[in-house]
């Protein structure tokens, strides 16, 4: 499947979500990643065509720049602590709507925004659709940690849960990836047998210095998958 087809799949999913869920006088959470670009472009079109009053709350520096560059109204959680809807992407979605997010390193802010929203909608292309987590996405579960604690946290995860944990390294700079919040990202390559994600998520969050996981459990209301034939598959 060509890259154009994959980009088209992202676009149809993004447009469907924006058309169905964005209403006048809404406060909208804007996620991060490549699929969100199409959602923001479509949102800008609708705001212009329909004269909508919409405030956009970003989940990352990238999302903030997208909002500004598309001349949309920028908000934050201080002025808008309750959101009507958040539209975000995912690295993988399983059959129970459990998500892996954080491939782009924005999981902490993404989860905070998602937790403040009335309706959390996910948009993705068909390659993100799995029966179980780890089936398609092979880069591990992203985990945001306080820098001083990254080594003991890596050891604790491996000792308690198995698998392998690695510190995510930057591509265009020497050293590790640093998040928008000044933290490090660990990627946990978990054992194939893992399925009890609610329990695992809770246990991980008990580790001191571990700030947030890229596991989004029982948070998404609906996922729109753009399919190879141009259709959109809905999962609830």
Helix ranges (H only) for 27-175 are: 34-50, 61-69, 107-115, 150-161
Residue whose structure tokens are 């997208």: 66
How distant is the alpha carbon of residue 17 from its chain centre? 15
SS3 230: coil
Sign for the CA dihedral angle at 222, 224, 225, 228 comes to positive
CA-to-CA distance for 75 and 65, rounded, in angstroms? 12
The tokens for 124 are 């993705």
Active-site annotation holds for 50: no
Beta pairing partners, 213: 143
Residues 92, 110, 144, 212: which is the catalytic one? 110
Give the residue numbers annotated as catalytic, written as ranges.
Answer: 110
């Amino acid at each position: 499947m060509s890259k154009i087809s994959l980009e088209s799949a992202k676009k149809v999913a993004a447009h469907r979500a924006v058309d169905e869920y964005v209403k006048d006088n809404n406060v909208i959470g804007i996620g991060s990643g490549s699929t969100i670009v199409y959602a923001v472009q479509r949102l800008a079109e609708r705001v212009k065509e329909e004269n909508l009053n919409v405030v956009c709350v970003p989940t990352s520096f990238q999302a903030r720049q997208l909002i500004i560059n598309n001349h949309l109204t920028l908000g934050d959680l201080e002025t808008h602590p309750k959101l009507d809807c958040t539209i975000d992407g995912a690295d993988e979605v399983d059959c129970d709507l459990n998500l892996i997010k954080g491939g782009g390193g924005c999981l902490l802010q993404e989860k905070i925004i998602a937790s403040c929203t009335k309706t959390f909608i996910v948009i993705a292309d068909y390659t993100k659709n799995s029966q179980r987590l780890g089936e398609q996405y092979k880069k591990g579960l992203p985990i945001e940690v306080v820098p001083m604690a990254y080594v003991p946290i890596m050891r604790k995860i491996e000792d308690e849960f198995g698998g392998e944990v690695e510190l995510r390294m930057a591509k265009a700079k020497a050293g590790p990836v640093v998040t928008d919040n000044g933290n490090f990202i660990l990627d946990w390559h978990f054992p194939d047998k893992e399925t009890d994600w609610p329990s695992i998520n809770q246990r991980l969050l008990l580790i001191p210095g571990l700030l947030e996981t890229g596991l989004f459990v029982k948070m998404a209301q609906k996922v729109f998958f753009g399919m190879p034939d141009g259709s959109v598959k809905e999962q609830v």
